[in-house]
A and B are shown apart, each in its own frame.
Chain A
């Protein structure tokens, strides 16, 4: 697991280095700074030759400062090392809402926003999917089961961005029931916490609805197929033959054995939700982790990309670890 964590980080670093992205970005920074400095120096130094020499000197200095005189494989490891010890560095393109350009500050500010929207949606859709999928699996082939399967197939194939836009069109522009984006009403001056909370919920409704509709189908389907596959196991027939009440067969035989795979999906889903939902966040202008990553890539903010990749992998690895521990409790076949 640790290998995965560092492997992903190093791989991202290597990709950024090999493709020359890192060089290009850093040279751009150097050039931009030089241009500004040149203007300032031009006021003091009148002789053009002297000016050029001074600028050239500064340029070499900057190149050394950014380690551009060394190849990428000498430069990137330092960034990676810093990130490994959670010194995430500074962002070049984004500021936190309080004005800090430290990556750690920005991420810490964004995580609660994402948890509020994406994790809530994942939680609701997984719970609904669990109940509906289970119920559907006990009535395989019935009309209601086929109807649920149809609904979940539609939900599964629905593109989030399209559905999100439809939702905005209907609820925000036509019906004017909900805001079309953002987290708070701009210019809201009331500081009463209850009003602020209600305002937040009001803004939360549409994005959560969109994500819910897009996610719930796969949850229903996955749960349903896991439970159906366990239903076909011999020990279920044995349970029936033993004359045990249906309730006992369902709880002790069916659900108990379906729990590990279902839990795997849930925990990985919840963990994944912390990393945000790029499209939904973009459509609803939600300042979360997804849009942060998207912007970091657009502006080639290397520190930010590396830091976010690291955080994402970290979240995944921690979730996996929690799962491994849970397996020991849930499944007696797993021992360490």
Chain B
């Protein structure tokens, strides 16, 4: 049985200018110890999906359909109090995109790390601090950061603190939403190594959301590629990266510069669609090089092309 089962999840933003279908009919699952990479451009709905999994979609957004089942319990229909006490941070935690502002500026790191322990578990303050110290060491920081304030730390250190905070209750799943975007390349590599270490040593399930396919290739077991609120390709990362099936995934991979190849760098023409009014049929058809008549009329169903490799494209 999988740890997390997302079925037909729909998250819409109800704006004055119309309904934005940020996440539309998305299904996937995560096993214990699995790292799932979710890739996509800005505006593809991948961050909304991350917030949706914690039921923290900012208004005017709302989950309008589907299920999110974690260890047999559905989050979508759960009441707010139970969700807060029993699921958030305890079962699913999250590492945020803007780590630089994610920490409360007026409290010490220690206090913020201890906070969830005190509110979720019946533990003495001393014990909680000991656990915080342990976790801080695990993410490669010195114990004395516990006494420091967020502004005294560098961007990389803050992100490590954030990771420690996400792991402090040993949740079943950690959602990492663009965890390295705000960091420079050297720090990014360090943080990626830390994620690999966490995956290996703690057997932690991670949902790794990023626009950077190379990061996903480094760490993920499975990959879901999102385009305009939908998963267009989903499967084992080796399969997806070596034999990409969807024209969008192919285009994304071709647009990554490579040192050893003489192939010319290409890009995907056009821009992502307006999600208030997505194109009829396949949402990628206006940009697709292989567009056929059927693509303009009907939405392609998601299909297994062998070896648990799912693609939503009329080509297959």
Q: Could you list which residues of chain A lie within 8 angstroms of chain B, going by C-beta atoms? A: 233-235, 237-245, 248, 252-253, 256-257, 330-333
Contacts and interface: CB of A to CB of B under 8 A. Distances in A.
Contacts of A235: 101-105
A252 B108 CA distance: 12
B106 A256 contact: yes
Interface of B: 54, 56, 58, 83-85, 87-90, 93-94, 96, 98, 101-108, 115-116, 119-120, 149, 151, 165
A237 B83 CA distance: 15
A248 B119 contact: yes
Given A243-B85, A331-B106, A332-B106, A233 B115 contact: no
Contacts of B98: 234
A244 B115 contact: yes
A234 B101 contact: yes
Given A234-B102, A257-B106, A242 B96 contact: no
Contacts of B165: 242
14 contacts: A233-B101, A240-B56, A240-B88, A241-B88, A242-B88, A242-B93, A242-B119, A242-B165, A243-B116, A243-B120, A244-B119, A253-B104, A257-B106, A332-B108
Given A241-B54, A242-B115, A245-B119, A332 B105 contact: yes
* Interface of B: prevailing SS: loop
Nearest to B116: A242
B60 to A, nearest CB: 9
B149 A243 contact: no
Contacts of B105: 235, 257, 331-333
A14 B101 CA distance: 48
A237 B162 CA distance: 13
B104 A243 contact: no
Contacts of B106: 256-257, 330-332
B97 to A, nearest CB: 8
Given A242-B89, A243-B88, A256-B104, 7 more contacts: A235-B105, A238-B96, A242-B93, A243-B119, A245-B119, A253-B104, A257-B106
A243 B94 contact: no
B56 A237 contact: yes
Contact of B96 (A237, A252, A257, A330): A237
A290 B83 CA distance: 57
Contacts of A248: 115, 119
A232 to B, nearest CB: 9
Contacts of A233: 101
A283 B100 CA distance: 53
A234 B96 contact: yes
Q: Which of B85, B102, B104, B105 has the most CB of A within 10 A?
A: B104
B89 A241 contact: yes
Nearest to A243: B88
